Chains A and B, each alone.
Chain A
């Protein structure tokens, strides 16, 4: 049976009827970037990604991956022509997290060494401008219709971002402080992170908008953790309540490596974060957690793909969404155990709490197992606040509001309690708690 690529696209990638406006924006941005870029390989990467994106379009809700996450508002918005904004040191100061760290500032995705702290020993940072040919060729291979539309969009807009590498034990956390300046801009930073064999790094990503408005951020981070490497990763998403955020984190781990990553979602109108993990070497471990608090009419989508490609790896996941008012939460998690990946130990837990009568969560935890000697489990539960728990606290003299707050805060912050750095953990815990108790 033969199928042309166009009809394949139609079949497998249900196209959102309002795709064209944003596609046109991306095309003109790509053309402008390519017109001023003398390097053919980069131009090809962009153009191929654009063409793949145009072929598949943005997904409609008939696309299984986008069933619960509406893109109408994202696609309808009027976006400004790309511009790199500027930020002054005092603005950076107010956004600086309250713990000891080397803060690296990215303004609309562009690394600003002048606004950034000195790098700790063992860490090297460069603009993605300097990315090598091999990586570009690999990215070229990624520019196909099967990839996610926003991942393709990020690749098509290839220009900004940072290359980061860590060797040895880096003792100071590195913060990538993303400040988005345009109220209706689009920024698509692409980062490469390499944790060298036996190295250890703690990386904290913050994504924040400086102005309210329907801005769209589409970041992609690719991370490689070498043999025996250790990565501690935290991402805080606190863009404005009108903004959109469509993010991917691709994590590849070699043998004996260990990663722990936590995604905390607070802001945005429609937001999604995907952590895509491939365990490529034996005896690797990945901990993947997330905590999201959706209020008003926010749509928060948190998802993971965890590929156990080789034997003897472990993965641990805890994902929580607290949804209030008429907000919506989406969790999608897939653990895939490849043929031969024996002794895989994978555990994924998703728990959601509905606070508002119109609040809703759609959860889809999945397992695909092609090996026979594995220990895998997944669970998902969505419910309301437990009345017996509330009564227990009230019966001890605690007001109903405080009782609900205590229980909800504990529920929401559980995924961040595993962060080993006390100051980072408290910071994230307090941010989540503060949104619950403004």
Chain B
């Protein structure tokens, strides 16, 4: 098993507001899991807790990633171990070029995996190839991280980083929101091209459209800090038709 989340509880570190109230989730290599659920149910919190954001404090439960205790690891150690979070809101970092940032990141991850560092020209070749795949303009590499990028460009930039870092598990938090129809297709193709039977995905989304392209193996509904229902791809269709009300009445 790649990811084993067991009874995960988390609260906002500064207050006592509990957001995750016992999440259970098992992800095997190569699987694609979708997480859906109404606004404010804890989807982003779950994704951020997995990535190690310090704003949240885990109060109970455990998470094993590739057999290791994920919660004991620093955010950068998680990334180097192969966990990737595509952010719901990628941040802008003025003055830090995409190139320098990603070059530093790629080599930090390679070092942790026992690989020799890439030379700048090797990195540039690899980056050019991935950017082409994602139909990104080459000058995006020279620009400051996400600064002045449109909403869709920011999302695409995150997927580009994912393609460069080659994680074992990619957690994508609403990567589809803010994308136009063509961009959605491009991002979905990008994700599909990274599916190799080993790499796993957790896709947080509100819409069925992305799932139609990616075809998840499992769909989970997160509500009020818990997964209240899991099913196959057909669950997404059901939700698209009926909404969450019935489910919440039944299980919430």
Contacts and interface: CB of A to CB of B under 8 A. Distances in A.
The reply to whether chain A is a binding partner of chain B is: yes
Interface of A: 386-389, 391-400, 402-403, 406-407, 409-411, 413-414, 417
A403 B112 CA distance: 17
B93 A399 contact: no
A392 B91 contact: yes
A345 B7 CA distance: 60
Contact of B93 (A393, A400, A402, A417): A393
B90 to A, nearest CB: 7
Contacts of B51: 395
Contacts of A406: 96, 100-101, 104
Contact of B90 (A386, A392, A407): A392
A131 B90 CA distance: 59
A407 B96 contact: yes
B76 interface: yes
A394 B104 CA distance: 11
Contacts, number: 78
Contacts of B165: 396-397
6 smallest A-B Cβ distances: which pairs? A410-B95, A397-B79, A396-B105, A394-B75, A397-B109, A397-B108
21 contacts: A387-B54, A391-B53, A391-B75, A392-B87, A392-B90, A392-B93, A393-B101, A394-B74, A395-B79, A396-B109, A397-B106, A398-B76, A398-B101, A398-B105, A403-B76, A406-B104, A407-B95, A410-B93, A410-B95, A411-B95, A417-B95
B184 interface: no
B161 interface: yes
Contacts of B54: 387, 391
Interface residues of B, number: 32
Nearest to A414: B95
B76 A397 contact: yes
A283 B104 CA distance: 44
A393 B105 contact: yes
Which one of B54, B94, B96, B165 has the highest number of Cβ atoms from chain A below 10 Å of its Cβ? B96
Contacts of B145: 392
Interface of B: 51-54, 74-76, 78-80, 84-85, 87, 90-91, 93-96, 100-102, 104-106, 108-109, 112, 144-145, 161, 165
Nearest to A402: B104
A413 B74 contact: no
- Centre residue among B53, B75, B105 by max chain A CB count within 10 A: B75
Contacts of A391: 53-54, 75
Given A396-B102, A396-B165, A411 B94 contact: yes
A395 B53 CA distance: 9
Contacts of A386: 91
B101 A394 contact: no
Contacts of B101: 393, 396, 398, 406
Contacts of B78: 395
B96 A399 contact: no
B161 A396 contact: yes
Nearest to B144: A410
Contact of B76 (A394, A409, A414): A394
Contacts of B104: 398, 402, 406
A23 B105 CA distance: 57
Contacts of A395: 51-52, 75-76, 78-79, 84-85, 87
Nearest to B106: A397
Nearest to B102: A396
A424 to B, nearest CB: 19
Nearest to B113: A397
Nearest to B104: A398
A398 B96 contact: no
Given A389-B93, A394-B74, 12 more contacts: A391-B75, A393-B101, A395-B51, A395-B84, A395-B85, A396-B109, A397-B76, A397-B79, A397-B105, A397-B165, A400-B74, A409-B95
